[in-house]
Amino acid sequence: MNINSTLKTLLNHRSIRKYSSQKIEKEKLDYIIQAACNGSTMGNLQLYSIIITEDAEMKAKAAPFHFNQPMVTEAPLLLTFCADLNRFSKYCQYREAETTAYDNLQSYHWAVTDALIAAQNACVAAESLGLGICWLGTITFNCDKFIELFELPPRVFPIASISFGYPKETPELTDKLPHEAFIHYEKYKDYSEEAINKIYSDKEQHPNTLALFEENNLNNLARIFTERRYKKEDNEYFSKILVEVLKKQKFLDSY
């Protein structure tokens, strides 16, 4: 079976955190945006927007909210994908239709899905063009700060931020769980302790995990995640901010 270039791109994905200073050509950026905007959307409502950041000053302003990860200022391009119900609500307003029909959690879910599909399309397009990318999970931690920075109006919410550029490194592929960890035939089959042990066996013995054990002085990967990397108190703190901002941005107006 011949594997086409798109499939090779998907199978060889890796996160790039070090970039050269080479600027991304306009033609390539245009293709990335075109691919992003050609993805599937809920009811073809296209409930997302994309913030393009190339200006060094803007990247410097965004950096602290991304916890000063170096690729934020080193990458020549950042794209921030937003769930956007503002545009369609304005369309409804100007056509004398109901303007608050989408001020709810259901519509937020639609818009989040649209934004993430656009983001993934952009990533695949960029990697197929020889660029590297890295998803920045910090976008939702400081969602209130990004809303202020980008001057996002009500009904717009930042969902994903991604760095793009020419790679200055070729890291190994990230260790992943085996495919059988995710697949359920016909109905969901819950995980027994035996199944969990089997699924996580290779990961717990991977060199990256062994390095984490040494770094954290703790030989338990689950506890490293829950006690050191993504702690309950941190998750609850950022969750409160998330709910408050969702209400402020009118995504939870009716709750």
Please report the pLDDT score of residue 6 as a whole number.
Answer: 85
Domains of the chain in start order, with CATH, are 5-172+235-248 (3.40.109.10), 179-229 (no CATH)
d(CA 98, CA 93): 7
Mean of pLDDT over the chain: 95
* Complete DSSP assignment for 232-250: HHHHHHHHHHHHHHHHHTT
What separation in angstroms does the CA of 112 have from each of 180, 211, 216?
Answer: 27, 35, 34
**Mean pLDDT confidence for 34-54:** 97
Res 253: pLDDT: 74
C-alpha to C-alpha distance for 121 and 36, rounded to whole angstroms: 5
| pLDDT 10s digits, 135-172 | 999 998 999 999 999 999 999 999 999 999 999 999 98
Q: DSSP letters along 149-201, please?
A: HTTPPTTEEEEEEEEEE-BS--PPPPP---GGGT--SSS--PPPHHHHHHHHH
* % the chain with pLDDT above 90: 89
Nearest Cα to Cα of residue 133 among 141, 143, 122, 142: 122
Q: How far is CA 191 from the centre of its chain?
A: 27
- 200 pLDDT band, cuts 50/70/90, is very high
**Is 80 exceeded by the pLDDT of residue 254?**
no
Per residue in 153-163, pLDDT (tens digit) is 999 999 999 99
Please state the rounded mean pLDDT for residues 113-125.
Answer: 98
Tell me what pLDDT residue 2 has: 63
**Among 24, 18, 7, 47, which residue's Cα sits nearest to residue 167?**
18
What are the backbone dihedrals phi and psi of residue 8, each rounded to the nearest 5 degrees, phi first? Answer: -60, -40
Residue 1 pLDDT exceeds 60: no
